[in-house]
Amino acid sequence: MSFCTFSPEKLHNNAKRERGLNMGSRLVPFLFTSLAIATLFSFFLIYSPNPLLTIAKQGLNSIQIQPNLHAVQEQDHQDLDHNNIKLQPPTKKEEEKCDLYEGHWVPELRGPMYTNSSCATIPESKNCFKNGRRDSDFLNWRWKPDKCELPLFDPNTFLEIVRGKKMAFIGDSVARNHVESLLCLLSQEESPKDVYKDSEDRFRTWYFPQHDFTLMKLWSKYLIAADERMVNGTGSGTFNLHLDRLDDQWARHLPDLDYAIVSGGHWFFRVMYLHEGGNLTGCVYCNQPNVTDYNISHAVRMAFRTVFKHIKDCKNCRGGLIALLRTFAPAHFENGAWNTGGYCNRTSPFSEAQIDLGTFDWEMRNIQIEEFERGRREGEMKGKKFGVLDITRAMLMRADGHPGAHWGNQWMKGYNDCVHWCMPGPVDYWNHFLMAIIRNEGGLVS
Ligand SMILES: *[C@@H]1O[C@H](CO)[C@@H](O)[C@H](O)[C@H]1NC(C)=O
Ligand SMILES: *[C@@H]1O[C@H](CO)[C@@H](O)[C@H](O)[C@H]1NC(C)=O
Ligand SMILES: *[C@@H]1O[C@H](CO)[C@@H](O)[C@H](O)[C@H]1NC(C)=O
Ligand SMILES: *[C@@H]1O[C@H](CO)[C@@H](O)[C@H](O)[C@H]1NC(C)=O
Ligand SMILES: *[C@@H]1O[C@H](CO)[C@@H](O)[C@H](O)[C@H]1NC(C)=O
Ligand SMILES: *[C@@H]1O[C@H](CO)[C@@H](O)[C@H](O)[C@H]1NC(C)=O
């Protein structure tokens, strides 16, 4: 994998070269410094993609860091008595009123639905207990929507819903984390066959023969077409983005799909050149006087606009295609970025009152939702189906759910992974949401 090529010497030489760069006065200095570092580490960033986000967050004082769970615990003892309610389908009335994503985490002593012994496919990098994580309280929480119950994931129900269908997770390494969680949950019912795997584990296909269900992972950094600028034959960490064209690597599979679960955002925190109709129309943080400077939000917005425009207009897509947006997944570095000693070692969730929706994570989520809604309005008129896994808010509360590195996790040479999620862990809830949504074909929440 690319991070194996990492060497401190290379970093040192690059750092010397970068110091000569002209830092733009329009840019907040901490942002730019971090950006330069991010560029050096570009080959590394597949796994730890958003240093800027982290720094920006700390600048904004985003997350309050005093855990105070008393309120949550008191309020929720009563929920524990209602365990059997959540297995019943919500009534029509409940469905209309209930936003699954407005809620909080409540204590749940039942434990996870799989372990590292019952699921054989937990990747090393997310097998937190194997890598030395000792605290397990982070597994003892359940998501409780304010106005209803979230039905628990049930592998048999899920596999019946998707019988004969093809589902793809489209996005970066966090999308991979999501599909890995789904595989663990489903393997409790049926073990899939590995049908296809590329050398870098970016494109994969699994098949569940008993349910004729095909599951795919389609890798895409930006969702739209993008290519890395080369300097002297090596990647520069700077990308050309073609705002009006999809990344065909995934888009060519779209006509075969019944479910397309789209997500992204972590790769946008770097210098990017923006193109439309083949022409350079601007950039993000390139700091060139003759190129219009846009912010990250603009690039993210245009990318998601293109994705949902394509999906709503897709003529050769299956009639029953269900397009789902999985909203931006927050990272939780504290006291530094991923490459400057930031860490995530919390052992319990934040309460609702402790998260701040004034952060860049939330803006990323809002942009994605807005562009999703734009596509949905027109797409639904054409009979397409849309749904959203709006996980951002719930996951902002789960700083305790990441692998980190201080448990002796060696997978990133000592860096802390506060971007991806332990398995089992709160990431499994993305699939509880997924099942709730597809059971209702996208009609459950807005
Ligand atoms: C599962 O986690 C335990 C620690 O809780 C570890 O000792 C064991 O090696 C892990 N097993 C696998 C198969 O990952
Ligand atoms: C590219 O290579 C040329 C010739 O070897 C060298 O002068 C130049 O500094 C290099 N550029 C970068 C950005 O490394
Ligand atoms: C690209 O730039 C050329 C030259 O300025 C212009 O003629 C053409 O219309 C541009 N294309 C688009 C799609 O904007
Ligand atoms: C902007 O200026 C640089 C350096 O002078 C030049 O290489 C580049 O082609 C220019 N870009 C555009 C879009 O004019
Ligand atoms: C990005 O730019 C848009 C306008 O192009 C603006 O509305 C938005 O607030 C900006 N976002 C940030 C984070 O600066
Ligand atoms: C997390 O790590 C920091 C820095 O090493 C330490 O001060 C803090 O006590 C740790 N918190 C927990 C919950 O382990």
pLDDT tens digit sequence for 216-244: 999 999 999 999 999 999 999 999 999 99
Answer yes or no: is 446 within a domain: no
Is 295 close to ligand 5, i.e. is its CB under 6 Å away?
A: yes
Average confidence score pLDDT of the chain: 80
For residues 150 and 178, the answer to whether their CB atoms sit within 8 Å is no
Residues 333 and 342: their CA atoms lie apart, in Å, by 5
pLDDT value for 383: 81
Give the CATH number for residue 324.
3.40.50.1110
Residues 58 and 53: their CA atoms lie apart, in Å, by 9
Mean pLDDT along residues 82-92: 41
Residues 124 and 132: their CA atoms lie apart, in Å, by 12
pLDDT value for 165: 97
Q: What is the residue range of 82's domain? A: 55-438
Is 193 close to ligand 1, i.e. is its CB under 6 Å away?
A: no
Where is 298: in which H helix or E strand?
Answer: helix 296-313
The pLDDT tens digits of the residues spanning 89-138 come to 445 555 557 899 999 999 999 999 999 999 999 998 899 998 888 899 99
Higher pLDDT, 18 or 238: 238
Answer yes or no: is 42 within a domain: no
pLDDT value for 425: 97
Q: In percent, how much of the chain has pLDDT > 90?
A: 67
Q: Which of 275, 279, 281 to mutate to test the pocket of ligand 3 (most atoms within 8 A of CB)?
A: 279
315: Cα separation from own chain's centroid: 28
pLDDT value for 93: 54
Cα of 272 from ligand 3 centre, angstroms: 20
Answer yes or no: is 120 within a domain: yes
pLDDT value for 18: 28
DSSP 390-417: --HHHHHT-GGGS-BSTTT--TTTT--B
Answer yes or no: is 432 within a domain: yes
Is 73 close to ligand 5, i.e. is its CB under 6 Å away?
A: no
Token couple for 420: 């991806």
Residue 142's pLDDT band, with cuts at 50, 70 and 90, is: very high
Mean pLDDT along residues 409-425: 81
Residue 341's pLDDT band, with cuts at 50, 70 and 90, is: confident
Answer yes or no: is 12 within a domain: no
| Other Cβ atoms closer than 10 A to 250 | 23
Answer yes or no: is 1 within a domain: no
pTM of the complete model: 0.81
- Sign of CA pseudo-dihedral 222, 227, 231, 234: positive
Q: What order of strands is seen across the sheet that includes strand 293-294?
A: 224-231, 234-246, 272-276, 279-284, 293-294
Question: Count of H helices and E strands in the chain?
Answer: 12, 14
Answer yes or no: is 170 within a domain: yes
Residues 58 and 48: their CA atoms lie apart, in Å, by 17
Domain count, the chain: 1
Token couple for 182: 């789904």
Answer yes or no: is 16 within a domain: no
